[in-house]
Amino acid sequence: MTESTSQHAKKSLGQHFLRDHNAIARIASAIPEGAIAIEIGPGPGAITESLLARAIKLTVIEMDDRFASHWQDVAKNNSELSVIHGDVMKELEGAVASVQPEWIAGNLPYNLSGPLTAKLAGFNLSGGMVLMYQREVAERIASEPGSKVYGGLSVLVRHYYDVKRLLTLPPGAFVPPPKVHSAVILMTPHGKTPACSYEQLQKTVRQGFAHRRKTINNNFRGELGAEEFEAIGIDPRKRPEQLDYDAWVRIALALKN
């Protein structure tokens, strides 16, 4: 697409389009040639074109009418490309069910990154995910227990995946430049069978992190007591950000019983 089109980003959709060629190459090359993938919010297509060049069978989900129309035109002459025109929060589940992707990629809209990641983390993909965030959000997702930014998303993404930061990007890597740095997260399946369902974990984490300053005992008062926490190897005086993924799973299982 033309540079003028790419520069006309819609603030309401949280659009910032990647233009750093090295970053584009690293993101695209993280997905194997010939894979089946979904890209969220292709926009003018910096990453999209690189993925298609790698013979990746690609489905894009685009809400912006301008870009959806463009990719629909491209898809008429490219059997490897499919287009879903709509809101990713509404379309994602159906898209994953029908496409059966091995990978999901995307420069996630800043205004949706939290709830969208909570959805994405629930899909057990055989390949993984390459996702771009505001740096602060990426740090939260990749953080370890005990960190001040460790939270619900840090736990949820570990249900199916190992998480690492792939690269960090300055504002100038985008058009228009955001006010913050960005970072790309690579999520690859760890292959372990989770002991609880993702839905159980999500419900438990949501309740447990509802009041970060309170102890875990207080956050589950009336459902689990101090003795029950100790029986599953958890100090009831600990705060939510001090508990690792395995501890959250033990709480989820204890609540189920």
| pLDDT tens digits, one per residue of 197-251 | 999 999 999 999 999 889 999 999 999 999 999 999 999 999 999 999 999 999 9
Identity of residue 24? I
113-122: b or e for each residue (b if 16 or more CB lie within 10 Å)?
bbebbbbbbb
Instruction: Extract long-range pairs of 25-34: CB within 8 Å, 24+ residues apart.
Output: 25/50, 26/166, 26/167, 26/184, 27/105, 27/130, 27/132, 27/166, 27/184, 28/53, 28/54, 29/54, 30/105, 30/130, 30/166, 30/186, 31/56, 31/103, 31/105, 31/127, 31/130, 32/127
Q: Give percent above pLDDT 70 in the chain.
A: 93
Residue 6: the pLDDT is: 44
Residue 19: the pLDDT is: 86
Specify the pTM: 0.91
Positions in the chain short of pLDDT 50: 1-7, 13
Residue 175: the pLDDT is: 83
Residue 171: the pLDDT is: 92
